[in-house]
Structures are given as C-alpha cells and as structure tokens.
Structure 1
C-alpha cells in the first residue's frame, strides 16, 4: 500500500513538474513576444546617423548632440559628407543649400530636404566708414573668397539688383582663403571685404577696427519686398536619404520636433550654447558666443521651406545652372509631411 502511495506521489510530482515546465515555457514565450512587440508596432529604437559641417550649419544641432541618442559626427569638408550620404553611411546631413540640389539631380531624386537650417551668413565688412548701403559699393574693390560658389552668386545678385554691374562697376579680388581678405583689410585704408560668419567675428577679435557694414541677408530680403514669389539667401539645409525617410516616417517627425527645440535653445541660450559648440569642436566658445546672433540659425520646414529655397535656387541657376546641378529640383525634393 505504501509502495502504491509512494508511486502515486511520484507520478503526481512528475505531472506537477511537467505542468510547471509547460507554464514556464509558455511564460517565456509571452515575455519574448512582449520584447518584440515594439518592433512589430514600429516603436523599436533605430540608429540614426547624422553628419554636419564645422561652422554655422552645425551650431543649431548642439542641443540634440548633448541630449539625444542620435549618432553625430562633425566633418571639416563637404568632401567627407557627400560620399557618406550617397553610399548610405549617413542618414541625415547638414550641407550647403546648393549642394543639396546638386545631389538631388545627381541621384535622380534620392535626396530630400528636411529643413532650412541657416539663412545667409555673408557680410560686407570694411576698415573704415564708407559703406552705408549697397549702392556705396559702386567703384569699390571688394576682397572675397568663394569664386564659382554661392558667395560669388549671392554677391552678384545683390550688386546687379542694386544697379551695379559686377563686371564693370566694381573690382572683385577673389582670394583662396578668408584670411587673405582679412590681411587686405588690415593693410589698406578703406578696404572692403565680403566675409562669412563666424569668420567675421574671428577677424574683429583680432582687429577691432573692422566694421560690419552690410548684412547681405537683409539686403537680399529688401530686394524681395516687391516679388510675388519671395526667396531668401540660404547657406545650409538638412537633408535625408529619401529611402530612409520613407522607411521611418515617425522618426522623421520626431527628428524635426527635436530639431526645432534645439534651434530654439541655441538662439535663446547663447552663452550655454556656445559652450556646447566648443565641446563638439565646431568653433571656440568665445567666437561662437559673439557670432551666434549673426549666424541666422533657423529651422524652417514645410511649404515655407519650399518657397524660400526654390526661389534661392532659381537665382543661382540664372547665374550658373551647374551651381544647382543643372535644374532646380521638383516638388518631391522637399520633405513635407
């Protein structure tokens, strides 16, 4: 009898153990299902690789660099960024506005613009008091760098729109580096130069006699007052690989939301933002703090982005179609949610 009882107890114990194992296995199955649930609903975190260039186009990103989980890298030249973007090594990049158009045409539409991130950063500076308006540039020698690129096209547009022929009414001395323009300012009385920020601030730190005479962004805007389709002088934009954007619409929405927050932070907290700008090896904090108010850092997306950027690219194309890659991009160039 005891043997039978012991046998029944053993069988019962084995059955209980088997039931517990099945329950445990089912429990594990449920736990794994829960772990994978975010992927099924598209909420699993994904790696987002972002590149930016040293200078104003990267400055508006620094709050995100500090507080987000995106993978950021800072490049010294567009030559580093373009191959990464085209080969899928980076998903989002801050690049010159006209380069975005060139890459769109080169890839037949594989690049889209998410936002304008920097308006004009070009300024006319002088070692004197002779320039009070664009009209005062007539007859002057202007030292500048950026021949064959957007600085030349922007300057020509400002001059010609103010009745000044860039070929005959002024002498433009093109230099290979900004430092050569600064040297000319220092050595010649009443010399005039076109310089970008933050280089203007760097130059003024070394030579307090250098005066900012004209903000070419404001000069451009003044010329747009009577235009039905208004454009803006634009330095930089943020672009995305179209394939990545289509595969991750929620991520794009979140990125733009965080980017607006970051730009607002940088513009409203200049001193703290300058420290972050130095931390991420963009420019020294002392330069950044003085230059930020003049760097025109923005985050303009949607239809307003398309209006401003398409108009700007039309101006460049009128001077040199190759500046925009041959053609001004179509509507699908603009990422509009």
Structure 2
C-alpha cells in the first residue's frame, strides 16, 4: 500500500482517503471492532476472528504469502530433521506463526512437544534482540526482523523457509495465506466502485513494490512505517507479496484457517467462516 500512500490516487469524485499506520494488529483491532475503518490489511486469522464475532468485514484480497523463516547461529540446520533435539526460540504460544511452525514440524514427523524444546519469548522484538546479541542458536522470526537480525549478526544464517515448506506439503496452488486485505461489508455494498478502484490501485502498488524494493524501502521510511529503509528494502523480496482476489485465493485461505482451527481454534474464533466471508462485487 506504500505506493498509494505516496501517490494518493483518486478513488472517485469527493472521495477522501486517510491512511493510518499502526505498529501491530492489536493496536488496530479496537478500531475494527468499532467499525471505524473501511479497509484494512490484517493477518488472515484476525480477519476470520472478526468475522466470527459478527464484526462486518470480508476478505477482499490476499497480499502476503508468508514472511516466516528459521534462523540459526552455530548450529547446522539444512533440513527440518536437523531441528530434532534443539531448543528453538519463538514467540506468542498459540499465535498464528507458532501454530504454523508446529504444523510444519508435525508434517515432517517431528513432535513439537517431545522431539525438541520450544522456548517462548515475549515478542519478536525481544527475539530479535537475543539473536543479534548471539544469545539464540535457532529462532523463528518474521520479516522485517529477519533482515534486521541478518544485518546485525553476520553469524546468524537463514536456515529454513517456512513458505517453501508449506508449499511442498500442500502444493503450489495452496500457498501460505498469511495476510489479507479486508473491507467493511456495508461500505462495500454501498460503494462497490470505490472498493474496486481501491483494489486496482492496491494491486498496482504491490506490483510496483516488488519491482522497486529499494525505492519502496525509502517510502517506508518517508511515511513513518517504523522500519529503516535499508531493512525494508532487504525484507521485501522475502515477504512474498502478491495480489490475489479472495475468491481466487479461497482454497489457500481455507487450508490455512483449517490448520489454525486444528491447532488453536481460538485463533480464528472457533470455526471456519462461511461463504459470506469472501467479498464479491
């Protein structure tokens, strides 16, 4: 969305757009629960949770197909079997990326409760600090923390790509549907042309960011996103940004939500959303 923040494309006559940046999804949730935002980029499980609570948001598009990686320092990790017997630092037990990591372990025949030790750290920020200081041998982190750690501790190596493993297990047509764009349902029904124009511009923005990661990183800093330009530029190629409509992405979304439901039902509100969860013009 950063190119849209920079260019402020017109969505129609008398349409004013305010772009709001929050540092975490938790800071955005109160506004979503009150219906104060028409369009938002949030984790896919958060979208399901809101929908299952009766909050009127639908998935309009997918934008990010996984930003999760396993990093190692001084430990040989060439494949998932190498994680057996190791201590692995991660954050937020029961959160989406913890669930996905445990799912991938299980699919590789590794019992996350018996075959290794998961050490839960309070936040990715603290995880990254530990890794930078050399106090973490194996850690599971999202971008942009991956790029931050790799830039500040040259002994830390990118060991495993969780997105590649997800695709290996589930197939190339069912990628890791981590982050989405939601639209307020009543707003979309009243203003479909505005929503469609936004989605067109949004798809163009994602395409531009992928083609111009360095320039996009500079815009991230310019618009106070909270990530240094060089880190953002390094992170973008590993963020797997790609626009796909919710209807085209439905099978991937459903697979991801089913995994979360099996491992941590509360993370999506206890059930799979029904068909109305998916925005259609």
Is TM > 0.5 for Structure 1 vs Structure 2?
A: yes
| Aligned CA distance change for structure 1 residues 304 and 177 (closer, same or farther; 3 Å) | same
Structure 1 alignment gaps of length 5 or more: 1-60
Conservation of the 8 A alpha-carbon contact between 2:70 and 2:160: yes
Give a deviation string over 1:58-107, Cα, whole Å, max 9, x none. xxx01111112521010123233222223232100111110100000101
* Root mean square deviation of aligned Cα: 1.7
SS at match of 1:332: helix
| Aligned pairs (5 A) from 1:313-324 | 313-324=257-268
Q: 2:276 aligned with 1:332, yes or no? A: yes
1:277 maps to 2:224: no
After TM superposition, the score normalised by the length of structure 2 is: 0.91
| Alpha-carbon shift at residue 223 of structure 1 (Å) | 0.5
Q: What is the deviation of 1:232?
A: 2.8
Which of 85, 91, 94 is matched with 2:38 structurally?
Answer: 91
Normalised TM-score (structure 1): 0.77
1:256 pairs, out of 199, 221, 224, with: 199
**What CA distance in whole angstroms lies between the structure 1 residues aligned with 2:119 and 2:138?**
10
| Relative contact order, higher structure (CA 8 A, sep 6+) | 2
Aligned-partner SS, 1:172: strand
2-side partners of 1:67 and 1:179: how far apart? 31
Higher relative helix content: 1
Asked if 1:215 corresponds to 2:155, the answer is no
For the 8 Å contact 1:301–1:336, the answer to whether it is kept is: no
Task: Please state how far the C-alpha of 1:304 moved relative to its aligned partner.
Answer: 2.2
Please show how residues 164-313 of structure 1 align to structure 2 within 5 Å: 164-185=110-131, 186-187=133-134, 191-225=137-171, 231-282=174-225, 283-313=227-257
| Whole-Å separation in 2 of the counterparts to 1:225 and 1:73 | 35
Shift of 1:179: 4.2
Q: Name the counterpart of 1:15.
A: none
Q: How many pairs are equivalent?
A: 272
Of 179-188 and 315-324, the range deviating more from structure 2 = 179-188
Structure 2 gap segments, 5+ residues each: 11-16
